[in-house]
Structure 1
Amino acid sequence: MRDKHLIEVKESTEEILKGRFLHAFRDHVTLPDGARATREYVRHPGAVMVIPLLTDGQGILRVVLERQFRYPVGQVMIEFPAGKLDPGESVIQCAQRELAEETGYRAQEWARAGVMHPVIAYSTEFIDIWFARDLTLGARQLDNGEFLDVFTATPDELLGWCQSGQVTDAKTLTGALWLQNVLAGKWSLEWQACASATA
């Protein structure tokens, strides 16, 4: 109860919008001082992001990235592979599926890094962060209406793009932070072999 002076209590809720992707609500809440307020937010099923590690023919570590047009911001963005969970799907199954569908890569080893909440002011969305390595390349299986380029970069190149503002996607910036600290030996990962959920 140490945070009681911060917590808002939901009194009622109403659905504002139910679209093909967005599901928005307006809640009426009581504030810690007893005042009333409304909170509008989007419910989201959750998502995953994958940081795929690839060693090229010269033994240089590279990461697999994507370039995709994002309509709300009107820009082609550099991102790590990611996608939302399907109903009944575990986060590791989602990570394996999204990596294979979007990039064609399948990984023999996986490590869960953590979780992030990208837009805490107006969405319940969480993104589970996974690393993948020992990659083999196969065919992509993009969704209908999905268009993206897949490419690789060195960690230094990615970090340079983050610094210069070429990469502004929040999940990819968080992934770059994880990548930097893992490669520096400051943050550890527990790798495990995982049978492919997409096989």
Structure 2
Amino acid sequence: MTDAHLIERQVSQEELLRGHFLHAFRDTVRLPNQALATREYVVHPGAVMVIPLLETPEGLKLVLERQYRYPVGQVMIEFPAGKRDAGEDPWRCAQRELQEETGYTAGQWARAGVLHPVIAYSTEVIEIWFAKDLRLGARQLDAEEFLDVFTATPAQLMDWCRDGQVSDAKTLTGALWLQNTLSGSWPLVWQSLD
């Protein structure tokens, strides 16, 4: 099967914004029926999200964050995540973001997959990583970063997702991965941090 009947072809491009980490464009495209249309989108450097699994005497807990997100004007519950630096390996980025934001380092890592959070207007791709064998150290937040770190059970997270307390797309996708991983449906390949 071919997708030729769906493909849009770029005719021209106009740069709208070159910000600190976002780059916005307006393209004129030729549609499959040969008509012209415009597409506005943001080029994003990519990011990672970490699903940290913390073994406690009470059972498995998840390391989560609460952070105010200015565009939506509210504090959101999220898994640790962050933007990749130019040329940065996603696994190294995951390790860096987990340690900087939560203070935890992990002895075991597993890459789960990728998600495209806003395909209609952004090139952003987020790699999903699981981390376990956690050890707590000091956080190293960026100067403009303010967030709370807390733990919750997988059941609590699923309840918050169901009830709408968690509405962040990457965290909802992480909850899907978590649920299927814990059930054994989606096995992970773990690697040690050497």
- Alignment correspondent of 1:74: 73
- Alignment correspondent of 2:49: 49
CA distance in 1, matches of 2:86, 2:5: 36
- Alignment correspondent of 1:107: 106
Query: Mapping of 1:53-68 within 5 angstroms?
Result: 53-58=53-58, 60-68=59-67
- Alignment correspondent of 1:133: 132
CA distance in 2, matches of 1:161, 1:78: 9
- Alignment correspondent of 2:12: 12
CA distance in 2, matches of 1:126, 1:20: 18
Contact persistence 2:110–2:188 (CA under 8 A): yes
1:149 paired with 2:145, answer: no
State the Cα distance separating 1:37 from its structure 2 match: 0.7
Instruction: Name the SS of the counterpart of 2:161 in structure 1.
Output: helix
Instruction: Kindly report structure 1 stretches of 4+ aligned residues shifted beyond 2 Å.
Output: none
Root mean square deviation, CA, Å: 0.8
State the Cα distance separating 1:21 from its structure 2 match: 2.8
CA distance in 2, matches of 1:165, 1:21: 29
Instruction: Name the SS of the counterpart of 1:39 in structure 2.
Output: strand
- Alignment correspondent of 1:96: 95
Deviations 1:2-61 (A, max 9, x none): 100000001121110111232100111100000001110000010000000001133x00
Give the AA of the match of 2:150.
Answer: F
Task: In structure 1, list runs of 5 or more residues that go unmatched.
Answer: none
State the Cα distance separating 1:180 from its structure 2 match: 0.3
Task: In structure 2, list runs of 5 or more residues that go unmatched.
Answer: none
TM-score by length of 2: 0.98
Contact persistence 2:103–2:138 (CA under 8 A): yes
Instruction: Name the SS of the counterpart of 1:160 in structure 2.
Output: helix
Instruction: Name the SS of the counterpart of 1:83 in structure 2.
Output: strand
Give the AA of the match of 1:139.
Answer: A
Q: Percent identity?
A: 72
Deviations 1:64-88 (A, max 9, x none): 0000000000000000000010012
TM-score by length of 1: 0.96
